[in-house]
Amino acid sequence: MKRHSGRKEFARGLFLLLILSAAAVIASEAASAESVIVNSKDWRDVYAGLQYAKLNGQTAYFVKSESHAVSLLNFLNNDEKYVVLNGAESFLPDYESLLKGKGLDAEALPYDNNLNIELARKLRDEKGIKKYIIVDDSMGYNAISVAPYAKVSESYVLFANAATIDDIISFFREERPESVTIYGHVRREVKEALQEFNPEEINEGNRFANNREIVRRYLKINPINQTLLTNGEFIEDELMEGKNPIVFIGRNNIPDETKEFIKEAGFKYAVLIGNNLIPTATYVKRRLDIAVFVKFAKGLAGTGNPSLQDLDTFPVPRYAIALDIKSVKYNVLTNTLEVTYQNLLESPAYAKTTITLLDSNKTASDKEAVFLDGFQEKTVAYPLELDEAEKNNPGIASAIMLYGEDEGSLEFVLQKNMTVSTLKVLDNSQAEIIDAYYDVSNAAFIITIQNTGSTDVFANAEIIGLMVDGEQKNIAGNKNVRVKPGEEGQIAVRQRMTELDLADNPSIKVRVYYGEREEGLIKQKEKEFPLKVKKSNLLVIIGASAAVAVLVLWLIFGKRRKRKEE
């Protein structure tokens, strides 16, 4: 019995020793674990630091203000080592010294210039990560959209622009990447510089379409029935985690294509990050039959403080737009509803509006989105038949306007009730578009119109579907011109074009808005022209072949020759 008892005690002792040894190993690993703290005012540093930590399997924190840098100490653990990533502009200089003063093991990561590239180099050398996603840093939503996919595909996101592309190319040439993916819009010089690495491009035309495509790719790697919902305007830890894909929703609206995509993807659960999109998330819950949870706050874990605090978020550059409806008028003589739209900011935008006269329940709406350049006003005339009583008193118009940065991203909603005034004006203006060319010295398209009617004409112009930097856009003139009967007038539509941009546009489509009233350019005409470019005193026809390309002597040259003959 004693012998068996001794064996049992030995076994127990050995088992306990194994447990203690394992615990010691775990404790040792915990003690040597590293966490990352990003101390920078630059969102790109915050993003790079968080994705570096996630790819390394590390915990990450970021500082968002001077006071937050101090309060963050409440979340830190004495058993961990902290690597501090200081930006060129940090919230608290020498932040690692503050941590050391609190008894924490901390050190700063030294780097020469670009933290984004420095962390890419570390991941390549230490983790063997050699797949890269290239985004432009002018709009932060592209970086937010690709973050989960980057994590599950073990790729690293690099910010490329004219200032950083040479450094990125040098980095790639050190050890050629396994793959390079260009996501969303990037500058032409960036795209061309990357061609030697055979990049794949994802650019479906707008940020919602691009987002849907990157989620599809995520789901091929990690099929899952839960998604995160956000609009790409801020960084938050869970958005960078990679456990769920991110589906973009708008502040007030979801594009129809995204609604269908959510259904097709088979998502059953969604987590809304932040509470600024609750109205849109409510639509997802009610109409798309998905359980939606809202992550809107955090607790002070381990502090004994039960109160909740705001989520730690860091803003990224966003596309700021604001539209309004300035007036609604009914023109009794033309049976049209004249609606004047107003762009309140410098960013171009598109709008699609439905207007209902509440008394008569008659409706007018846009079939296509209306383009509004920065700070532009535009009046649109909608045919609308009213009876005599309704004409005398149209009553109140209820307008619902969807708008956004492009036709596929109408994420904002403006709802407005306005009293409809009446006017009695006939518009007998007549005009023709007779010429268009690009003036290199003035960086503007010059549109020539002729007043073919008997009344003065006010006019402005747009270039439709112009290829700039490899992408289509609309541009508009910023000043109306007045043209007397029988005379010609010129409208300048300013846009700086490179030689490559000009080559991408063998022809241009011109749309002219005109009318008798400067505040009511309700008529329009379109015409397409082979692109001609004025360089000094010469006019080059871009769309012609080399065999028939013509250099047309400009008017000044003709005048000079005439003076010599005299």
Report the pLDDT value the prediction gives residue 221, as an integer from 0 to 100. Answer: 98
pLDDT score of 456 more than 80: yes
In angstroms, rounded to a whole number, what is the distance separating the alpha carbons of residues 287 and 284? Answer: 6
State which of 379, 413, 447 marks the end of a domain.
413
Domain shared by 375 and 467, yes or no:
no
Evaluate whether residue 213 is within a structural domain: no
Report the pLDDT value the prediction gives residue 199, as an integer from 0 to 100. Answer: 97
What range defines the domain where residue 391 resides?
Answer: 323-413
CATH of the domain at 357: 2.60.40
Report the pLDDT value the prediction gives residue 297, as an integer from 0 to 100. Answer: 76
Residue 445 contacts residue 476 (beta carbons within 8 Å): no
**Longest Cα–Cα distance in the chain:** 135
Domain shared by 446 and 500, yes or no:
yes
Residue 94 contacts residue 145 (beta carbons within 8 Å): no
Kindly report, residue by residue over 203-232, the tens digit of the pLDDT: 998 999 999 999 999 999 999 999 999 999
Domain shared by 450 and 375, yes or no:
no
In angstroms, rounded to a whole number, what is the distance separating the alpha carbons of residues 41 and 193? Answer: 29
Domain shared by 393 and 469, yes or no:
no
Domain shared by 353 and 450, yes or no:
no
Domain shared by 514 and 550, yes or no:
yes
Kindly report, residue by residue over 503-547, the tens digit of the pLDDT: 999 999 999 999 999 999 999 999 999 999 998 767 777 654 433
Angle at 69 between CA 68 and CA 71, to 5 degrees: 60
Residue 170: phi, psi to the nearest 5?
A: -60, -40
Evaluate whether residue 58 is within a structural domain: no
Domain shared by 328 and 405, yes or no:
yes
pLDDT score of 381 more than 70: yes
Report the pLDDT value the prediction gives residue 522, as an integer from 0 to 100. Answer: 95
In angstroms, rounded to a whole number, what is the distance separating the alpha carbons of residues 75 and 300? Answer: 7
What is the percent of the chain with per-residue pLDDT over 70, rounded to a whole number?
Answer: 88
Kindly report, residue by residue over 156-165, the tens digit of the pLDDT: 999 999 999 9
Instruction: Report residue 309 CA to chain centroid gap.
Output: 29
> Among 269-283, 456-470, 549-563, which stretch is predicted with the lowest mean pLDDT?
549-563
Domain shared by 406 and 463, yes or no:
no
State which of 413, 442, 469 marks the end of a domain.
413
Element (H, E) at 257: helix 256-265
What is the percent of the chain with per-residue pLDDT over 90, rounded to a whole number?
Answer: 78
What is the rounded average pLDDT of the residues 40-51? 97
Report the pLDDT value the prediction gives residue 276, as an integer from 0 to 100. Answer: 84
In angstroms, rounded to a whole number, what is the distance separating the alpha carbons of residues 270 and 294? Answer: 9
In angstroms, rounded to a whole number, what is the distance separating the alpha carbons of residues 404 and 320? Answer: 9
Kindly report, residue by residue over 245-301, the tens digit of the pLDDT: 999 999 889 999 999 999 999 999 999 998 888 989 998 998 898 999 999 876 554
Report the pLDDT value the prediction gives residue 308, as an integer from 0 to 100. Answer: 64
Kindly report, residue by residue over 159-208, the tens digit of the pLDDT: 999 999 999 999 999 999 999 999 999 999 999 999 999 999 999 989 99
- The total domain count for the chain is 3
Report the pLDDT value the prediction gives residue 75, as an integer from 0 to 100. Answer: 83
Evaluate whether residue 515 is within a structural domain: yes
Report the pLDDT value the prediction gives residue 545, as an integer from 0 to 100. Answer: 42
Kindly report, residue by residue over 107-164, the tens digit of the pLDDT: 999 988 899 999 999 999 999 999 999 999 998 999 999 999 999 999 999 999 999 9
